[in-house]
Each structure stands twice: as structure tokens, then as C-alpha cells.
Amino acid sequence: MGKGCKSNMGQTDNTHSWKHTFKAYGHPRVVTMLFLGFAAGLPLLLIFSSLSLWLREAGMDRSTVTYFSWAALGYSFKFIWAPIVDKLPIPLLTQWLGRRRAWLLLAQISIILAILWMAFTDPTQALMPMAFAAVMLGFSSATQDIVIDAYRIESAGEELQALMSSSYITGYRIGMLVSGAGTLKLAAWFAGDQGYDYQAWQWAYIWMAVAMAIGILTTLIIAEPVTESRTSRYLNTLDDYLRFLALFGVTVCAFVLVFAGGGGLVHPLKQNMGVLGGFSIEAVRLLVALGSAWCTARLAIHVGLARRAVFQETYIEPLADFFQRYGKAALLLLALVGLYRISDIVLGAISNVFYQDMGFTKHQIADITKTFGLIMTIVGAFLGGGLSLRYGVMRILFLGAFLSAATNLLFLLLAQSGPETSLLVLVIAADNLSAGLASAAFIAYLSSLTNISFTAFQYALFSSLMTLLPKLLGGYSGSIVDAMGYSNFFLITALIGLPVMLLVWLAGRELAIKH
């Protein structure tokens, strides 16, 4: 648990009445998370959902569209630069706003610039620049998430974390509604009766950049969280900061060069090995790139680019703290973190393409899957937060895992029935209700694993691990559908969610023994 915190994750807490629960939703910190959640949720679908429809409408094939989901892999590697966000001040901004708010403002400005870059790029003429813009948006959004997660954990005690999580999810989903349904509605309105119209999508994305002003206003209004001083023992001078940045820079360059350079080598192999073989090659390629980055960092330290003590403090100590606190159960807990969202994320990578292939219009996708889906997610998030507060996080975590796997089977029915509007409404209601409930409990669970002494790095590591494998698999969802069809794909996404329930039960038992 975090320093000074006690766990009640697996226990029923009957001391909290429903009246007390609803009153707690009005706490200023809980309300703050609604607006920060909006700022965090808005960029996501501009990479996944809305961009996939834009690319599909522009004539891109399914495999190319789903490969673009890898542009958001920054979410899965944000733990690498989380220490930068945690420890390095931003000239002038940190003195003016404080450590968390300074980085938050910088990330939000970068998000706006990335969205505008995408808006002024026509994918039919410049697909690679669009990919770079999407990567920049993913990197900036992931940086914003690092700060928001740290802010949430540091700004209130564990007793409010479940409610803050549900409030955050509600805001997150509202942001997703604006960037999902809102973008589609705007693109359809600007295009009129025409087919593909680049300028329609351009103006839709410009308005999304304007909507991010809500996040900037929130950052300027809220107060910096009051926490114990965590001044670095080794990062105290400008020279220390520059050397630490240089270490980070050469490490990232090593990763990018090896990963990107390996693409040309493995591409011919992937063409002859099918979907599973291609995924295996990509996994090896990723591991080799990570290993190269690690060796580069150790070599840079050895030659004196940065002090070993700095590396120890920023990366090794947070990891060691987690394994010391949880011992043998640590690997089990990490396995649960890495697999809990696998069903939802893999399916979500191709969901909008699926709706379009089934014959649903942009207006139907916007109204049912985005607007109505948002309402059901908000209901699920508030239900998940309240139930977690009353009955314990692990019990609701198990319920969420079961519902997430079960509701994927409803997509199988939709794939076989065709564009049935009533069935789509049922599928979206069940899927989003369960997703909201599971997410509220899962965020509270991740928060409980974090030691407040290492907030930014540890939570970034957990949330990165949460999305890494699912997003790698999600990038192949288009190829999997091409190979076996939608029905078999949805059946697989349901089956891979079953082991998660066993992991939740085992993790709950270990935590109960420990506490």
C-alpha cells in the first residue's frame, strides 16, 4: 500500500451508507477529477476511433487502420519518462504553477499542437506525417496521464480514491464522447452529402483542439496538491538535470533506432508467418529494442554521462519498493495489471471499423456507440465506485472481469445479425455498463498498489503494463478479422478474458493474507 495507508480492498465496508457515498461525490477533489478526466479522455479517440473512421473513409484498408492504433503505444511506455515528469522542473512554469500543474499545462499545449498537426494533414496525400502527428498526440496524452494520475493519488487519501476514480472515468468518457461522437457529427455536418471530404475532417479536428481549452482552464484554476517534500537526493543543479535528460535522450534514441530499424528486417518474415507468427516477431522486436535501450543506459552511466545514483533513485528504487512490499505476490499482481483490460482493448481497436463494415452510418455510430454508450459508462462508473466503497475493490474487480468477457459475446450476435439497431443498443448498453464498472474498480486497485513516495513512476508503470500487451494485440485485430472473420474474433476476445477472473481471485486471496 502507499505510505501510511491501510487496505480494505478485499473487505466489505458497511460503515459507508449510500447517503455518505453520494455526499462524497461533491468533494472538491472528486469534482476536479471530472474536468481532468475530460482533458485525458478527449485525445484518445482522436487516435483510435475517429481517426480509424477518417482513414477508412479515405480508402485505407483494415490492416493499415488498425496498425495506426500503435500510435498510442506511448501510453504503454510512459513509465520510461515518468521520472522526468516527476523530478525535473520546467523553467518559469514550475515556479509559477507548481510541479504537477506545470507539467500538466505543458502536456496540454502539446496535445493541442498535435491535434492541429493532424487537422492540417490529409492522409491520402501524406500518410506518414499523419502517423507522426498521431504518435506526438499519443506521447503528449500519455504525459498528461502521468501527471493527472499522480495528482489524483497525491491530492486525497485512499478513502476517496474509488470515488475520484469513478468521477475521473465519467469525465474521461465525456471527453471521449466529444472526440468520438462530436468529431463524427462535425465531420458529417461539414461534409454534407459528399463522400470523403478532407476539409470536413480538418474542421472537426480543429474544434477538438479548441475543446482542449477546458483542460487548460482547469489546470490554471485548481490548486497544487500538498504533499511531503520529495526533493531528489542527486538532482539539485542544472548540470544534474541536463545530464539526466541526456541519459533519457540517448536511451530513447537507442530504442527508436533498433525498433524502427528492425521493421525492414522483419517485414518479409511477417508476410510468410500469418497473424500469430507476425505478432510473435513483433514481440521479439519489441523486447530486443527494450534490451538495447537498457544496455545503452547502462553504458551511458558507465562512461559518466549520468551518475549511477540518479538511475538508482529514479528507476531501481521504485521497482525495489514494490517488490519489497508485496514479495512473492508481486508477479501475480503485475500479471493481473497486464491482462485485466485485454478483452476490451483488443476489441476496441477495431470496433468502429466493425460498425462501419456492418452497415451502420456515422450518425448511428455517433448516437448509439458514443452518446448512448457514454451514458451507460457513466452509470457503470458511478455504480463501480459506490460498490467498491461498500463491498471492497477486489469483489467488484472480479465482477467487472466476468462482465467484460461475457459482453464480448454479444458482439458475436451482432456480427451474425447485421445492422440491427435495437441489438446494437443492447450490445452497447451491456458493454459500456460493464466497462465503466470494471474501470472504476481497476483504477482504485492500481492506486492502492502505489506508494506515494514513488507516485508518478509506479502508477505510470502499472498503467503502462495495463495497455502494453492488449495494444500490441489490438494492432493485429484487422489482420485477425481478415483471416478468420468477425464472429471468431469476438469469441476469442471473450475467451482470453476468462483467465483474468482466476487472477483476480488469486490476487484477492494474496492481498487478504498480507493484510
Residue 68 lies in a domain: yes
For residues 136 and 253, which has the higher predicted lDDT (pLDDT)?
136
- How far apart CA 309 and CA 18 sit, in angstroms, is 49
Quickly list H helices, 178-328.
183-191, 198-211, 213-221, 238-271, 274-302, 308-311, 317-326
For residues 275 and 331, which has the higher predicted lDDT (pLDDT)?
331
Q: Check pLDDT > 70 for residue 414.
A: yes
User: How many Cβ atoms from other residues are within 10 Å of residue 234's Cβ?
Assistant: 17
What mean pLDDT value characterizes the chain? Answer: 81
Residue 488 contacts residue 372 (beta carbons within 8 Å): no
> Of the residues 267, 282, 306, which one is the last residue of a structural domain?
306
If asked whether residues 210 and 315 sit together in one domain, one would say: yes
Positive or negative torsion for Cα 352, 357, 358, 362: positive
* Secondary structure of residue 275 in the 3-state scheme: helix
Place of cell 489490438: 474
How many domains is the chain partitioned into structurally?
2
Give the Å distances, CA to CA, from 395 to 9, 27, 308, 411, 437: 8, 25, 42, 26, 11
If asked whether residues 117 and 228 sit together in one domain, one would say: yes
For residues 512 and 449, which has the higher predicted lDDT (pLDDT)?
449
Residue 338 contacts residue 466 (beta carbons within 8 Å): yes
HEC string for 375-443? HHHHHHHHHHHHHHHHHCHHHHHHHHHHHHHHHHHHHHHHHHHCCCHHHHHHHHHHHHHHHHHHHHHHH
If asked whether residues 315 and 448 sit together in one domain, one would say: yes
Residue 4 lies in a domain: no
- How far apart CA 325 and CA 308 sit, in angstroms, is 24
- How far apart CA 107 and CA 220 sit, in angstroms, is 13
| Structure confidence by residue, pLDDT tens digits, 357-369 | 888 887 888 888 8
If asked whether residues 396 and 436 sit together in one domain, one would say: yes
Residue 8 lies in a domain: no
Residue 3 lies in a domain: no
If asked whether residues 142 and 242 sit together in one domain, one would say: no
Given pLDDT bands bounded at 50, 70 and 90, which one contains residue 404?
A: confident
Separation of CA 365 from chain center: 22
HEC string for 432-480? HHHHHHHHHHHHHHHHHHCCHHHHHHHHHHHHHHHHHHHHHHHCCHHHH
If asked whether residues 217 and 300 sit together in one domain, one would say: no
If asked whether residues 191 and 285 sit together in one domain, one would say: no
| Structure confidence by residue, pLDDT tens digits, 234-260 | 556 667 777 777 887 888 788 778 876
Q: How far apart are the first and last CA of the chain?
A: 10
Place of cell 542527486: 234
Most confident of 16-25, 74-83, 135-144, 193-202: 135-144
The helices-and-strands tally (H runs, E runs) of the chain is: 27, 0
- At 106, list the grid cell: 505543458
> Of the residues 255, 279, 306, which one is the last residue of a structural domain?
306
Residue 348 lies in a domain: yes
Instruction: Determine the pLDDT at residue 279.
Output: 59
Instruction: Determine the pLDDT at residue 269.
Output: 55
| Structure confidence by residue, pLDDT tens digits, 78-104 | 877 787 787 788 888 988 998 889 999
Segments forming the whole domain that contains residue 429: 18-234+307-514
Give the rounded percent of residues in the chain with a pLDDT score beyond 90: 17
Most confident of 194-203, 380-389, 452-461: 194-203
For residues 438 and 107, which has the higher predicted lDDT (pLDDT)?
107
If asked whether residues 322 and 458 sit together in one domain, one would say: yes
* Secondary structure of residue 225 in the 3-state scheme: coil
- How far apart CA 260 and CA 263 sit, in angstroms, is 5
If asked whether residues 163 and 300 sit together in one domain, one would say: no
If asked whether residues 292 and 327 sit together in one domain, one would say: no
If asked whether residues 286 and 174 sit together in one domain, one would say: no
Q: Check pLDDT > 70 for residue 229.
A: no
Write down the pTM of the prediction. 0.69
If asked whether residues 139 and 203 sit together in one domain, one would say: yes
Place of cell 498528461: 144
Mean predicted confidence (pLDDT) in 347-351? 81
Residue 7 lies in a domain: no
Query: Using alpha carbons only, what angle is made at residue 294 by residues 293 and 298, rounded to the nearest 5 degrees?
Result: 115
Instruction: Determine the pLDDT at residue 149.
Output: 86
- How far apart CA 13 and CA 193 sit, in angstroms, is 56
> Of the residues 275, 306, 337, which one is the last residue of a structural domain?
306
Burial zone of 513 (CB within 10 Å; 0-12 exposed, 13-18 middle, 19+ buried): exposed
Residue 154 lies in a domain: yes
Given pLDDT bands bounded at 50, 70 and 90, which one contains residue 10?
A: very low
Give the Å distances, CA to CA, from 5 to 159, 318, 452, 504: 10, 17, 9, 21
Residue 9 lies in a domain: no
Mean predicted confidence (pLDDT) in 300-304? 85
Q: Residue 483 sits in a domain of what CATH number?
A: 1.20.1250.20
- How far apart CA 354 and CA 348 sit, in angstroms, is 10
Q: Check pLDDT > 50 for residue 509.
A: yes
| Structure confidence by residue, pLDDT tens digits, 141-200 | 989 998 998 888 887 766 667 777 778 888 888 898 888 888 888 988 888 767 788 999
